[in-house]
Amino acid sequence: MPLDASLTFLGAAGQVTGSCYLLEWNEQKVLLDCGMVQGGDQITDLHRFRFQFRPKDIDAVILSHAHIDHSGLLTLLLAHGFRGQIYCTEGTANLLPVLLKDAVHLYLKDLEWQNRQRARLGKPEQEPRMTLKDVEGVIRCLKPISYQQQKDVLPGLTLEFLDAGHILGSAIVQLWLKHGQAMRKLVFSGDLGNPATVLMHDPSIVKQADVVLMESTYGDRDHQPLSNTLEEFANALAEADKAGGNVFIPAFALGRSQEILYYLGVLYHQGRLRQKMVVLDSPMAIEITRIYNEMIDEFDKKDTQVFKKYGAHDLQSFLPILHLTEKVEQSMALNRVTQGAIIIAGSGMCNGGRIAHHLKHNLWKNANHIIFVGFQAKGTLGRKLVDGESRVKVMGQPLVVKATIHTIGGFSAHAGQSQLINWAKAIGGQPQFYLVHGEPQAQLVLQEKLQQRGLKVDIASMGQKIQL
């Protein structure tokens, strides 16, 4: 009897956010990822959002990694009746509660503010679509599996995770679908890591596949060499030291903050870090850093072996001048520090959080330097500063921009074009590729490059259903 199986692209098709794919076979339904679409008005988008299936009909979820654009709708899935199991790696199971609690907390806070505005206009309040109880429900559903451990998760479905090298716990998903004598192997790349990224292993090689869902975020370009990026970063810090003020780095709590702490530790031990203190001023980044420290043995030994050379055992002990400010009062006290500090604070795009308060107090002082180490989306305060606007509003207050702005564009946890091509070429079995998680221009360029190498490649479209 032939295998009757299909896959529907419900997210991250023609865009780089909202990863979600519905796998159906033998009257069973499994989701690959359940991610939130980011970049718009979260309240409006969430309250308009409707799943294109009944959540209670989903038998299981298989999660590639913890980033919100891959996991953020799990709480909504629980709120609407899902009661299956969520399979992920051990690293993802440790990180996910931190990220989901933070996302739901921010959602409820924004909803409360909007409801106050609605009340003033005589409009009825909006009920929350998800709560922290739903996060607890997600946590109870988590079923961690180690890398390279095959597990039968449903009748006729075997799962194995390989290391994707993107963030702690990120996985390439390998699935074997069986029905009688028929079998097909489906591979979902998740987000493939940049081999140059510190602490992460290189993405694992897949030996064989029939169908591959492959990310294409940087399908149209390669990253500059990491050595160039680090020199650029070190020079920006040296320039800031000469100016006599402080350095402010908007923090992406998961992955980028830990990477920056590592490089600051390297510069410190090389005698190239002139600042007297580094402050991690983000409760979420602090919690994630502790998880990284607890799981330090999971990371690439060629990066962590430098710890032993200096008598350190984790990221925190590797940077002796690091201070953690969890309490609001500690964060506010930083306003009294006028020079010699590097302050890493959330959010990464400056659209809220503690970095907004720091910018309010420091953006108009020409001795200060702001260093951006991650992508800034259109419409965010971070993007306005990167684009060189001389006057901005911070927390509703107009400010002149006199601080020096640096943009370090070479840090990326995603594979570049050449790395994507090499990963795809290594897969045996003449698989059919479907490009996901990428903007159309990047996907068209990558498709052409892969086809030139004899691979069968299509670009997935939203709502498209394919037979496996």
Annotate 130-164 with DSSP letters as a single string.
--HHHHHHHHHHEEE--TT--EEEETTEEEEEEE-
What is the per-residue pLDDT for 338?
Answer: 93
Q: What CATH number does domain 5-221+413-467 carry, 3.40.50.1820, 3.40.50.720, 3.60.15.10, 3.40.190.120? A: 3.60.15.10
Residue 26 φ then ψ, to 5°: 50, 40
Q: In what order do the strands lie in the sheet with 171-179?
A: 151-154, 157-163, 171-179, 182-188, 211-215, 432-436, 456-459
CA distance 366 to 458: 51
Spans of the chain, pLDDT less than 70: 1-2, 39-40
**3-state SS assignment for residue 188:** strand
Length of the chain: 468
Q: What CATH number does domain 226-407 carry, 3.40.50.10890, 3.60.15.10, 3.40.50.970, 3.40.50.10800? A: 3.40.50.10890
Domains in the chain: boundaries: 5-221+413-467, 226-407
pTM, whole model, 2 decimals? Answer: 0.92
CA distance 64 to 62: 7
CA distance 170 to 190: 8
Residue 387, Cβ density class (10 Å: 0-12 exposed, 13-18 middle, ≥19 buried): exposed
Cα dihedral 363/353/267/414 (nearest 10): -120
Angle at 251 between CA 245 and CA 252, to 5 degrees: 165
CA distance 233 to 271: 15
Residue 341 φ then ψ, to 5°: -120, 145
CA distance 156 to 171: 21
What is the per-residue pLDDT for 179?
Answer: 82
Domains 5-221+413-467 and 226-407 share a fold: no
